[in-house]
Structure formats: structure tokens, C-alpha cells
Amino acid sequence: MDAPTPIDLLSLAREMIRRPSVTPRDAGALDVLEAALKRMGFACHRLPFGSGESGRDARVDNLYARLGNGKPHFCFAGHTDVVPPGDKATWSLDPFAGEVKDGQLWGRGAADMKGAIAAFVAAADAFLRAKGKGFAGSISLLITGDEEGDAVNGTVKVLRWMEERGEVPDMCVVGEPTNPERLGDMIKIGRRGSMNGYLTVHGVQGHTAYPHLADNAAHRLVRMLDAIAREALDDGSSHFQPSTLQITTIDIGNPANNVIPATAKATFNIRFNDKHTSKAITEWLRAKFDRAMGEIGSGGRYDLEIRVSGESFFTQPGPLSALVSDCVKAETNRAPELSTTGGTSDARFIRRLCPVVEFGGVGQTMHKIDERMAVSDLEGLARIYRRILDRVFA
Ligand SMILES: [Zn+2]
């Protein structure tokens, strides 16, 4: 039997982009990936979780694929879901056509992160061809369809499934677009935590001409928000930027200009470093709110709901970050910065099981109109991933 034809990096990336897998939909993106991995000899497991049509328990499809049973076990993690394209008419090219133009691969997911997945698959294919039957370790891919959404039915549940089967990797690289400008800029070795607060303040409705008979919830809310927003949470730590708090919306929705509102709501997002836990921040918030409430007089009450997207985490620079750094440098001639900047990623879940670092493409166009990735970067990324596999299994 003839060996199957080699994986073509660009074709694989384009086929995935042509499946409009806006979270929580898969739209066939994982089928494309699974077919390529099966051809390479991977054992593939589709792991759908959740039952809803939309919302937090929306049904999401995931893929875990592994080749080999030996050690070391190297895992590549990523996601095939993408954020919505917005108004398609504002794109220079169709966001789901996967076109190549001016040396760039265009489309939603090109940078974040179908391109990186294709680069890794092509790298693994080239690596396995070169190794032949002498390969004794194992390579796996943990690909979720729920990274850009609530991340409830994605990586967390796949990891639990893997643990139950005793499939714990020895190390993991997440292919998120980590480079701010050029391939080789940055490896991520940690991320800040993220939490959202949903604050509802209750007062007493009344006539604006008779405020002594009412209790203005808007006045309370403004005081409370000022109490948490006026001072910085910290001034950063040795590996992290300062923590930040941003009020994202204030909602009163009072259509009458002569009515004192009984209820006022606000939402805020906190990105926090390793000086805090979400629990400590929640206590800090309550103390601030209680004091602000006291200052404005008795009466009134509030509800605070906290949703934690992830605690901050940090992987001490060690063998894995050194190995990945070396491979990036060998390919790009640049020493990447080891950073903890940016949003959250699924590395926050994986780090519980094994050392994890993140390295992928250039993030400049991610989540934007005209998302794209230079074909030369895709190829460079595949060569870096290939170097990583060569080193891990040397
Ligand atoms: Zn991403």
C-alpha cells in the first residue's frame, strides 16, 4: 500500500477556514482536521459535551487525537472555534472563503487559530515521515470547539476525560497567536486571571421632587463603583503587569426624568496578576461596597454575582520554555520574550496536568476585520513546531 500523500499545510488551513465554526457551532471544521489526522494514523476521539442550543451549556464538539502510547507524551492544544466575523461587507475578502492573496491567508481563524493547528499537523506529518517506524513516544492533539465562548464544555471536560483514561501528557504547547508583531517575538508562560462582577443595587423608588421619601439606587451605585475604580489594585509583580479593573456597563434604563430609580446595575471586568486570587478580590470588593453603602446612609442593599473565568497562573521558566525558546530562536534568529500579557487561554486549565507554554502566530489581526496570517509565517511556524518535535523526541 502506498503511503498517504503528505499533509499540505495551506490546503488544510484553508479547508478549516471554509467551515464557519463560530462558537458553539462546529460546521465541519473538526471533520476536516480529524480526516487529516486519521490519514496520519492518529486514533481520534470526538468528545461532544453539553446539551443546549446556545448559552453556557451549549453543545460543543471537541477532538482528542493521539498517535503512539509511549513516552514522552507531547500534546498540542488549540481550538477550531472562531469569533463572529461581524459585518461581512466590511471585509476585503469573504471571511470564510480561505483565500490566499498578497502572500497572506485570509479569513476568520487564520491567526486565531486554525492556521497554527494546520502548521502543527503539517509539522507532525513531516516529523513522523522522517522518523518512520522508529518513533517510540506519543503525540496528541487536544482541540476544542469552545475556547472563544464560555469554555464550559471544552478543554476542561476533555482534560477530565483524559485523566480518567490515564492519558496525562508530559508537556503541552498551546498554539495561540502569541506574537505581537513578528514571528519569534513572544512565548507566553502565564496569563492573568479574569473575573466579571455583576452588581445590582436596590433602593426605593420615588418622585425626584421628594427625594427624602426615596432612596436613589443610582447614587449608591456611583459611589460604589467609584470606590473600586479610583485606586489601582497593585503595581504589578515580577512576572506580571499591574492588575486592572474596568467597568464595562452601567444599566439603569430609567425612561422618566422625574422618577428616582429603585434599581441600578453595573458590570465590571478584572484582570488580575499573581498577587491576588479571585476569592481575595471578591472579599476586597465586598468590603469596599459595604463601606460605600454605609457612607451614603442606612437602607439600600446590593447583590454581587461573581463569575471567574480563570485564576492567574505562571509556569516558572524551565526545560519546556527553554526548549521552545531555542527552537524559535533557531528558526527566526530572535530570542522570544517570556511573557504573561494578554487575555486568558485554555493553558489555564492544562497547567494543572503538565508544564504548558504558548506559542503560535502573530496576533495583530485576531478577532478583527480582515484577519489574516502571512503564508511565510505559517510555514515558519510549522518549521518551529517541527524543531520542537525533533528536540522533544531526540
Ligand atoms: Zn485563540
371 vs 9, 11, 26, 112, 366, CA distance in Å?
18, 17, 19, 9, 6
Catalytic residue among 15, 26, 61, 81: 81
CB under 8 Å to 115, separation ≥6 — which residues?
13, 105, 109, 361, 373, 378, 381
99 Cα–ligand 1 center, Å: 20
| DSSP type of residue 218 | H
Q: What is the pLDDT of residue 255?
A: 95
* Residue 379 falls in the annotated catalytic set: no
For ligand 1, a single-atom ion, the residues with CB < 5 A are: 112-113, 176
Q: What is the pLDDT of residue 213?
A: 95
337 Cα–ligand 1 center, Å: 19
174 Cα–ligand 1 center, Å: 9
The answer to whether the beta carbons of residues 30 and 46 sit under 8 Å apart is yes
Catalytic residue among 147, 167, 185, 346: 147
Per-residue pLDDT of the chain (394 residues; tens, 9 = 90+): 456 789 999 999 999 999 999 999 999 999 999 999 999 999 999 999 998 888 888 899 999 999 999 999 999 999 999 999 999 999 999 999 999 999 999 999 999 999 999 999 999 999 999 998 789 999 999 999 989 887 889 999 999 999 999 999 999 999 999 999 999 999 999 999 999 999 999 999 999 999 999 999 999 999 999 999 998 999 999 889 999 999 999 999 999 999 999 999 999 999 999 999 999 999 999 999 999 999 988 888 999 999 998 899 888 889 999 999 999 999 999 999 999 988 888 999 999 899 999 999 999 999 999 999 999 999 999 999 999 999 999 9
The bridge status of strand 337-339 relative to strand 186-188 is parallel
Measured between alpha carbons, how far is 351 from 345 in angstroms, rounded to an integer? 11
Residue 358, phi then psi, degrees to nearest 5: -120, 130
* Residue 81 falls in the annotated catalytic set: yes
394 Cα–ligand 1 center, Å: 30
